[in-house]
Amino acid sequence: MKIALETLGPCFQGIFPSMLFTCSKAGVPNVALLSHVEYLDPTHIALSFQFFNKSRRNIAENPQALLNVYDPDTAQAYVLRVRYVRSETSGPTFESMNLRIEAIASHSGLKGIFKLLAADVYEVLSVDRSADEIGIAPAGGTRSAAPPDAVFTMKALQEFADRIHRATGLEALLDSILEALDQLFGFHHAMILLPDEQPGRLVTIASRGYPEDGVGAEVGIGEGIVGMVAEAMKPIRISGLVRQMLYAVAVMNRAQEQGLCRDSRRIPLPGLSHPESQLGIPLIARGELAGVLCIESEKPYRFHEEDKAYLEVLGGYLAIAIQNMLLRERIEEPDEPPAAHPPPPPARPAAGDGTRREIAFYAADEVILMDGEYLVRGLPARILWKVLRERERLGRVEFTNRELRLDKSLALPSYKDNLESRLILLRKRLEQRCPEIRIAPSSRGRFALDLACEAILVERP
């Protein structure tokens, strides 16, 4: 029975290593490991050309090749007889392959070395099942193009939209997005990152499914898989991340041996300690990046093409929802300042032993350390320092977002200050690191500072 190339989509996720067999004009065969194989259409695939190696020289002399690929769901191997057609160094095929390779490169500290030189397009002449590497029966008994746990039903999508519409504030919105992704679609590990006030950085604002919520974890735009999603403003789906990292690390070791790569620093990913699949979705509204949704799994082949397609569409919807919520919270802020300042109330009784906390603000770096450990930096640090100082000096415990915006010492940008997201970040960081100090919303556009400890404020240069 003829095997249609389009039924082999899962084989091109890079979970099993592929091998490329070539032959020189002089008749000397060669077999080499291949980094990426991409499906193009029912008769074409593209192979990654990353290094000027023997395979590439053979192909230039003799366009015939043989390729092994594997189905990650069944471990069935397929043998593809192919013929080189052309190399592409731009265009959608190149861009798509390049983005995935760049993401892996960035994740492993190999930017500039682990890179795509060209997407080599091959015509597929035949596809056969391997006679020795025989797969197990697929789940459900038949091979299906649909993922085994497809969940994007109309009912689920309606419920997803309903939950988002019911959210009354930004924090509730972000939490409801992650909760709905988990409960309705089975994406148990996810995080949302928003642009930081510091240009070129994203900061984690909400997460679900991790031992620590990771709020405040930062990623530079262009760094790692999440950072690459933000830079390219395109989704990136990586399967078999462990296998692909092994390949990248092998390249790094070779590069280091040859003195081409001194920086072996890796960008630590927030989230799962050993993610096997990652799906990064840019949240784009009106051509502008509102954030990045990152979903992870410990399964090597968790995210299918359908997941990516649906989430890319939902990403636009979520971006608009986030932007609208930011706008709404700003519009509905009260104009009047809080009532006259009462004397500061006594600190809430501490749960344990009458805790004392030293809160040190390092002005030059705009960083707050709590008992010597990092708490927050940048705008959230400036806000916390302001409200703690005002509580100490003036006895104030209630504040408005509006007055923060008008306070020149906080230096909020005049346009798109993201104040609400900074307050959420601050509130969550305090919950994690110092539950004795709380920033609690008291009404729309207002929040109260609540202390259950003695706060020793120290300002350092």
Partner 1 sequence: MISEELATFLAAGHSGHIATRGERLEPDGARAWAIVVDPDRIHVTAYVMKAAASGIVENLSSHPEVALTVDRVIDHVTWQLKGAAVEVRPARAGEKAEVVRQADGFIGSLEAIGISRRLTANWRYWPCVAVRLRVTEIFNQTPGPGAGERVK
For residue 379, which of 197, 214, 221 has the smallest C-alpha distance?
197
- Cα 74 to Cα 13, 138, 269, 306, distances in angstroms: 13, 6, 29, 19
Mask: binding to partner 1, 66-95, rule CB under 8 A, as x and -?
A: x-x---x-xx-x---x--------------
356 binding partner 1? (CB under 8 A): no
Tokens of 305: 């093409």
- The per-residue b/e assignment along 246-274, b for 16 or more CB within 10 angstroms, e otherwise, is ebbbebbeebeeeeebeeeebeebbbbee
Minimum distance, C-beta of residue 235 to partner 1, in the bound complex (Å): 23
Q: What is the arrangement of strands in the sheet containing 18-23, beginning at the earlier edge strand?
A: 29-34, 18-23, 64-70, 77-88, 118-129, 44-49, 37-41
Q: How far is the CB of 60 from partner 1 (least distance, A)?
A: 13
Q: Are 50 and 114 in contact (CB under 8 A)?
A: yes
With contacts defined by CB under 8 A, name the span among 46-54, 197-205, 349-357, 450-458 that binds partner 1. 46-54
Closest CA to 222 of 280, 273, 174: 280
Angle at 266 between CA 11 and CA 106, to 5 degrees: 55
C-alpha closest to that of 70 among 126, 18, 125, 4 = 18
Nearer to partner 1, 145 or 246 (CB): 246
> Which position among 44, 201, 234, 243 is part of the footprint of partner 1 (CB under 8 A)?
243
Among 220, 300, 337, 338, binds partner 1 (CB under 8 A): 300
Choice from 214, 227, 235, 240 touching partner 1 (CB under 8 A): 240
Among 5, 65, 97, 289, binds partner 1 (CB under 8 A): 65
Residue from 86, 165, 254, 460 that binds partner 1 (CB under 8 A)?
254
**Residue 335 burial (10 A CB sphere; 0-12, 13-18, 19+):** exposed
Each residue 1-40 as x (binds partner 1 by CB under 8 A) or -, in order, gives --------------xxx-x-xxx-x-xxxxxxx-x-----
Query: Taking CA 101 as the corner, what is the angle to CA 207 and CA 60, rounded to the nearest 5 degrees?
Result: 165
Q: Near partner 1 by CB under 8 A, which window of 146-154, 164-172, 254-262, 399-407?
A: 254-262
Q: Which is nearer to partner 1, 168 or 253 (CB)?
A: 253
The contact mask relative to partner 1 for 106-135 (x = CB under 8 A, - = no) is -------x----------------xxxxxx
- Cβ at position 75, least distance to partner 1 in Å: 4
**Smaller CB separation from partner 1, 144 or 253:** 253
Taking the complex as a whole, the smallest distance from the CB of residue 274 to partner 1 amounts, in Å, to 9
Query: CA-CA distances (angstroms) from residue 356 to 381, 383, 436?
Result: 19, 21, 10
Compute the half-sphere exposure of residue 68: CA atoms within 13 Å on the CB side of its CA. Answer: 17
H helix or E strand, kind and range, residue 83: strand 77-88
The helix (run of H) or strand (run of E) holding residue 206 is strand 201-208
Q: Which of 359, 363, 364 is nearest to 426 (CA)?
A: 359
CB-CB contact of 251 with 217 (8 Å): no
How near is the Cβ of 6 to partner 1 at its closest, in Å? 23
Task: Single out the residue of 258, 273, 409, 414 in contact with partner 1 (rule: CB under 8 A).
Answer: 258
# chain residues binding partner 1, by CB under 8 A? 54
Residues 134-153 that bind partner 1 (CB under 8 A): 134-136
Footprint of partner 1 (CB under 8 A): 15-17, 19, 21-23, 25, 27-33, 35, 51, 53-54, 62, 64-66, 68, 72, 74-75, 77, 81, 113, 130-136, 240, 242-243, 246-247, 249-255, 257-258, 260, 276, 300
